[in-house]
């Protein structure tokens, strides 16, 4: 595995974890050249997992899109990169379980999973994501969503 920092091919595996019910392995690695630590994933190549969009199109599942949305929601919040990675792993695992039968899942189910996990992690990030995902058009919609998660406005 090539080090993303220095390009060296010599590294060692520090830790391995099984993900997605044994269908993937997450490995923490350390470059023997520069000491940089990074993560790699090994996944079983299987039938492409598809996401059914609102307009009926089917796109391949892209973990990066989920991570990008979560990163935006937690921007400038006290949330560690490890927490984000863990949250995205949980969402990916849950999506894979829900869509296991036909290898597809509705985009709305993925959005709901993201909201559920963000509500547990950081309520401000939850509101940020919800405002985009649910297309809030006015202040009342924000207030209703805040009240729904248990916040109070003074």
For range 143-148, the mean pLDDT: 82
Q: How many whole angstroms separate alpha carbon 38 and alpha carbon 113?
A: 26
HEC letters along the chain: CCCCCCCCCCEEEEEEEEEHHHCEEEEEEEECCCCCEEEEEEECCCCCCEEECCCCCEEECCHHHHHHHHHHHCCCCCCCHHHHHHHHHHHHHHHHHHCCCCCEEEHHHHHHHHHHHHHHHCHHHHHHHHHHHCCCCCHHHHHHHHHHCCCCCC
Reported confidence tier of residue 152, pLDDT bands at 50, 70, 90: very low
Cα dist. 110→86, 96, 133, 137 in Å?
16, 10, 11, 22
pLDDT the model gives residue 96? 86
The pLDDT tens digits for 16-73 are 988 877 778 999 999 999 999 999 988 776 667 899 998 999 999 999 999 999 999 9
151: confidence class by pLDDT, cuts 50, 70, 90: low
The angle formed by the CA atoms of residues 147, 140 and 88, to the nearest 5 degrees, is 55
pLDDT in the model for residue 48: 77
The dihedral over CA atoms of 111, 116, 119, 121, expressed in degrees to the nearest 10, equals: -100
pLDDT digits (tens, 9 = 90+) for 84-138: 999 999 999 899 888 888 889 999 999 999 999 999 999 999 999 988 888 888 8
Q: What are phi and psi of 37, to 5 degrees?
A: -105, 140
């Amino acid at each position: 595995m090539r080090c993303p920092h220095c390009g060296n091919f010599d590294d060692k595996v520090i830790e391995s974890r099984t993900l997605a019910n044994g269908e993937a392995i997450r490995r923490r690695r350390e470059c023997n050249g520069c000491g940089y630590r990074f993560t790699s994933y090994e996944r079983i190549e299987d039938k492409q997992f598809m996401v059914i969009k609102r307009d009926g199109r089917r796109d391949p599942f892209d973990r990066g899109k989920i991570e990008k949305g979560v990163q935006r929601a937690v921007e400038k919040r006290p949330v560690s990169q490890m927490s984000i990675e863990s949250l995205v792993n949980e969402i990916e695992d849950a999506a894979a379980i829900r869509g296991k039968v036909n290898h597809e899942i509705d985009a709305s189910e993925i959005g709901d999973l993201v909201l559920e996990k963000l509500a547990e992690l950081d309520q401000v990030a939850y509101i940020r994501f919800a405002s985009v995902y649910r297309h809030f058009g006015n202040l009342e919609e924000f207030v209703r969503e805040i009240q729904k998660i248990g916040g109070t406005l003074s």
